[in-house]
Chain A
């Protein structure tokens, strides 16, 4: 009883304070409104107007009376974690009504609302039906997040938010020089295998591509398909090909590819990597039928030990929870090295993904920014790791009290080994049509309908075509 009364009393105090803030901040409220409905003169970023970034408690001027609408993509990570975040928000702003929305089809649900000028306040814009971020940014629909990066970090107000993020987080939120999204989930990409299967057969995970191909021969001889991929969506196999190119050609080549520099495709590293990769196809190492399988079908076949390796990001473990055998012992493998690689074997594609955005025309932009700031606390990050089996973009965001599953634990080890050697392609976020062309070409390559030379030619043509657009 006692604690309940105390809670109520605290609640009353907070509400009173909220009203005081509301009264005092009337001027800035009006200013914010003017900014929010400025129509065509509003260029997406509100600047620092109305923000008091030295205030660690409430830098964005959140008004408790304003409700907050949160929209979460209901995909590999589910949406339960967001309820934990909303609880954290409610602790500070108990008066705010929180509207929790979730769906798989982000475009279907939200495009009409963007067009009507009344989007939710925070959106996890992800999944197959994601609204492309380059498109949103080009239409001035996103709040620039620099104020968030410069705001005090809640767990330690002496630091700024930008100082506690994993490397690459800000880069992956940047479109044409401005930061528009908080890519919250830290994902590593590579091959995955079952430690149990490897131990049973006495196989060692390969470090070089030559070893990889040799092992694939042994795996095939053992009656198991060496490689599966999610062929209906060539996105996944592109991870393998593009990572081999990046490792062979180095970060400079990767940046040129991201920048749609057509000449990058003439680099000999591209030819070396793609031709080496193509041995998977020419030696018939693919799981029969994998070229037409969905992610669910192929990953489940892999879980059933029908294939040894499958490429994916680290969401794989959470996505496959239901079909992974208890003793599967999932493990991560960086892309094996080719002779003359510019990056070491330990280098991995890693980066922040799962973009969270605050629409420029949201009703409660301040609340949206504050919600993102609260997501970047140890408490929220730990909750995420527990409910979604994945790491966040907060540095050391998972305390020792959080117990990780084998696949996620193996990514922590791989990330430590990689150190500063992480890289991440940006073109899937910044050049949608180029990405689509590349995926189509890869689908053709995997089915041996085109050869590596033709694949490179198509990539080059698409880069040329989309550069100007």
Chain B
């Protein structure tokens, strides 16, 4: 049996490996290759330019700005989303008034679960239309309409939301959080239901309050799930392309006003598809690849804990 072990294993893995190499590794390798050329993206002609594209990236103010915007999302998006999702999940599962019937969520928990999950089933295209209507810059926009009615905004100078360079990233962050909380709420809920009720009951008997049960029981036992959520959200933050390119100002993949919501991905697409700088765009792709790789490794390492068996 020992004798034929490796050929046996390779025989089973052959097809998955071919697919993985052909559809994942090879395109990555090609992107690395193209990033060393001046390829325009519209023909098969290109010249080798070495590391010129990477040198150019370091001097490109738009690109450096885009990195900052990505970093902002990277820090705030997981933090805010996970905190809100955890809070809601806790309230819906174990946060109800204890005492009478043991451990339960707040009243109407199952209804709230559906409501909070709702944004998750909307596609990005619908999100863009929906939030386009909310953030509309004149009095016909939902947000402006309400603010004007309440006397909080001036009808002659309504709030500019996505067209205001100081607000645009926060508006984008709000949409991302709004659309993401539902999914992580359900993820955390599922994990919380896996925690044995007797642990909570024991804590209750010992006189623990809601805050204490959350910090001392729920959070430590959910740590692995939180860690997973963190990595997923970090990847979303590194991308965020579909939303930003469809709701922010600017004719080609958004990023406006004046690059104030530019992300690496939107700048990449514009360089690739509009400006005929596909080689340059591939260099940005390589940068995103390494960023995401490093982040995944760092966050997995930083959030490492001993697994708690129960």
Q: Which of B12-20, B111-119, B155-163, B282-290 lines the interface with chain A? A: B155-163
Binary CB contact string for chain A from 113 to 147 against chain B (1 if under 8 A, 0 otherwise): 01101000000000011011011101111000000
Determine if B251 and A301 form an interchain contact, defined as CB atoms under 8 angstroms apart.
no
Show 26 A/B contacts (Cβ-Cβ < 8 Å), sorted by A. Answer: A40-B44, A107-B274, A111-B273, A115-B41, A115-B42, A132-B276, A135-B275, A139-B42, A139-B43, A231-B137, A232-B163, A232-B249, A288-B156, A289-B158, A290-B137, A291-B137, A291-B160, A292-B163, A293-B136, A432-B274, A436-B252, A436-B274, A440-B250, A440-B259, A444-B258, A447-B160
- Nearest CB of A to B163, in Å: 3
Tell whether, in the assembled complex, residue A293 and residue B138 are in contact, meaning their CB atoms are under 8 Å apart: yes
Q: B165 to A40, Cβ gap below 8 A?
A: no
Are B251 and A128 closer than 8 Å at their CB atoms? yes
Partner of A139, one of B40, B144, B155: B40
Q: Is B105 part of the binding interface, using a Cβ–Cβ cutoff of 8 Å?
A: no
Q: What's the minimum C-beta distance from B263 to chain A, rounded to whole angstroms?
A: 16
Bound Cα distance A141, B40 (Å): 11
Are B259 and A289 touching (Cβ within 8 A)?
no
Contact B160 A292 (CB under 8 A): yes
Contact partners of A231 in chain B: CB under 8 A = 137, 163, 249
Contacts of B162 in A (CB 8 A): 292
Q: Is A449 an interface residue (CB 8 A)?
A: yes
Contact bitstring B129-165, A, C-beta under 8 A = 1, else 0:
0000001111111001000000000011110111111
Chain A residues lying within 8 Å of B41, measured Cβ to Cβ, are 111, 115, 135
The chain A residues found within 8 Å of chain B, CB to CB, are 39-40, 107, 111, 114-115, 117, 128-129, 131-132, 134-136, 138-141, 231-233, 235, 284, 287-293, 297, 301, 432-433, 436, 439-441, 443-444, 447, 449
Would you call A289 and B136 a contact (CB within 8 A)?
A: yes
B98 at the interface (CB under 8 A from A): no
Partner of B256, one of A107, A115, A140, A443: A443
Kindly list chain A residues whose C-beta atoms are within 8 Å of the C-beta of B144. 289
Having A288-B158, A292-B163, A440-B258, one finds 20 other A-B pairs with CB under 8 Å, namely A115-B41, A129-B273, A132-B275, A135-B40, A141-B42, A141-B43, A232-B250, A233-B249, A288-B139, A289-B137, A290-B137, A291-B137, A291-B160, A436-B274, A440-B259, A441-B258, A443-B249, A443-B258, A447-B160, A447-B164
* B10 CB to nearest A CB, Å: 33
Q: How far is the CA of A334 from the CA of B140 in the complex (A)?
A: 30
B206 within 8 A of A: no
Q: Which residues of A contact B96 (CB under 8 A)?
A: none
B138-A289 in contact (CB<8A): yes
Q: How far is the CB of B52 from chain A (nearest CB, A)?
A: 13
Complex CA gap A439/B162 in Å reads 17
Bound together, the chains give a CA A232 to CA B76 distance in angstroms of 27
A440 touches B42 (CB 8 A): no
Q: Say yes or no: A233 contacts B251, CB within 8 Å.
A: yes
Q: Among B44, B137, B158, B250, which residue has its beta carbon within 8 angstroms of that of A117?
A: B44
B273 near A107: Cβ-Cβ < 8 Å: yes
Whether B157 and A292, one on each chain, are in contact in the complex, defined by CB atoms closer than 8 angstroms, is no
Q: Please tell me which one of the listed residues A40, A140, A440, A447 contacts residue B163 in the complex, with CB atoms under 8 A apart.
A: A447
- Residues in A with CB closer than 8 Å to B33 are none
- Is the beta-carbon distance between B43 and A114 smaller than 8 angstroms? yes
Closest B residue to A134 by CB, please name it.
B276
- Complex contacts, B249 vs chain A, CB 8 Å: 231-233, 292, 443
Most chain A CB inside 10 Å of its own CB: which residue of B137, B144, B157, B251 = B137
Chain B's nearest CB lies how many Å from the CB of A131? 7
* A contact residues around B257 at 8 Å (CB): 440, 443-444, 447
Q: State the main secondary structure of chain B at its contact with A.
A: loop
Contacts of B270 in A (CB 8 A): 436
The interface size bin for chain B is: 35 or more
User: In the complex, what distance in Å separates the CA atom of A129 from the CA atom of B155?
Assistant: 34
Whether B43 and A287, one on each chain, are in contact in the complex, defined by CB atoms closer than 8 angstroms, is no
Q: Name the CB-closest residue of B to A440.
A: B258
Binding site for A on B (CB under 8 A): 40-45, 135-141, 144, 155-158, 160-165, 249-252, 256-259, 270, 273-276
Closest 6 CB pairs of A and B: A289-B138, A292-B137, A139-B43, A292-B163, A135-B276, A289-B137
Partner of B44, one of A115, A288, A292, A436: A115
A17 to chain B, nearest CB (A): 37
In the complex, the answer to whether A301 meets B42 with C-beta atoms within 8 Å is no
Select from chain B the residue with minimum beta-carbon distance to A289.
B138
Interface SS, A side: helix
Measured CA separation A301–B140 after assembly (Å)? 10
The reply to whether B275 and A433 contact each other, CB–CB distance below 8 Å, is yes
| Contact of A449 with B158 in the complex, beta carbons under 8 Å | no
Smallest CB-CB separation from B166: which chain A residue? A449
| B270 (CB) vs chain A CBs: closest residue | A436
**Chain A residues near B161 (CB-CB < 8 A):** 292
Report the Cα distance A277→B139, complex, angstroms: 26
The residues of B that contact A139 with a CB separation of less than 8 Å are 40, 42-43, 45, 276
B139 neighbours in A (Cβ, 8 Å):
288-289
Q: Known contacts being A288-B138, A433-B275, is A235 close to B43, with CB within 8 Å? A: no
Which residue of chain A has its CB nearest to the CB of B254? A232
Q: How far is the CB of A189 from chain B (nearest CB, A)?
A: 17
Also in contact, A111 and B155, with CB within 8 A (given A233-B251, A292-B163):
no
> In angstroms, how far is the closest chain A Cβ from the Cβ of B124?
15
A232 to B251, CA, bound (A): 8
Contacts of A233 in B (CB 8 A): 249-251
Q: Are A115 and B165 in contact (CB under 8 A)?
A: no
Tell which of A134, A139, A301, A444 has the most Cβ of chain B within 10 Å.
A139
The answer for the CA separation of A389 and B141 in the assembled complex, in Å, is 32
For the complex, what is the distance from the CA of A66 to the CA of B270, rounded to whole Å? 36
Candidate in A128, A301, A443 with the most chain B CB atoms within 10 angstroms: A443
A303: min CB distance to chain B, Å: 14
Contact of B163 with A138 in the complex, beta carbons under 8 Å: no
Docked Cα-Cα span, A145 to B219, in Å, equals: 69
Instruction: Report if A140-B43 is in contact (Cβ < 8 Å); known contacts: A135-B276, A291-B163, A297-B136.
Output: yes
CB-defined contacts of B156 to chain A, threshold 8 Å: 284, 288
Chain B residues near A39 (CB, 8 Å)?
44
Q: Are B45 and A140 in contact (CB under 8 A)?
A: yes
* Residue contact A439 to B251, C-beta cutoff 8 Å: yes
Q: Chain A nearest CB: distance from B185 CB in Å?
A: 32
Q: Which residues of chain B are within 8 angstroms of A301 by Cβ–Cβ distance?
A: 138
* Cross-chain contact B137 with A111 (CB below 8 angstroms): no
- Which residues of chain B are near A115, meaning CB under 8 Å? 41-44
* Chain B residue contacts of A111, Cβ below 8 A: 41-42, 273
Which residue of chain A has the shortest Cβ distance to B162 in the bound complex? A292
Complexed CA–CA distance, A128 and B156 (Å): 30
Measured between beta carbons, the chain A residues less than 8 angstroms from B43 are 114-115, 139-141
